[in-house]
Structure 1
Amino acid sequence: NIPANANWTQQGVPIAGGHGGGNGTNQLYWPHGIFVDDDQTVLIVDHANNRIIQWKNGHTTSGKLLLVTKV
């Protein structure tokens, strides 16, 4: 839930990816879905790479591969 009085920053900070498209743990290729849990861990569905990547809060250099699937 986002509070009605939330303040938004004008300058965004990349928290995942940001290293061009690809299949490295620091890259995404056609990200399709995102989920943020209570610990601010980010899960991203990387559709073209058939995987889900987990990015822990504060770890912006690479993600952890959680699932690879052939769909």
Structure 2
Amino acid sequence: MKRYDLRHLKENFAGRMSEIIKNEAVSGEVVIFLFEIGDFSPVQQSADLVKELGCELMNSLKFNEADWTIVVKK
């Protein structure tokens, strides 16, 4: 299990998240992503991306007032 903090990318986190899932995570691995939500649209964007990449979204929750955490199994 690895954790990636993508908050520094603000709303541009999806490209890096996709890159990590495709190139760094191994099949069966669980990966935790932390990103900034702003207007909540990134929550749906992240769920759609996980589905598009053929992975399982295991958990999605609000981390604090500004951040969101998702748990993905490749």
**TM-score normalized by structure 1?**
0.31
- Greater percentage in strand: 2
Q: Which has the larger radius of gyration?
A: 1
Higher relative contact order (CA 8 A, sep 6+): 2
TM-score by length of 2: 0.30
**Which structure dedicates a bigger proportion of its chain to helix?**
2
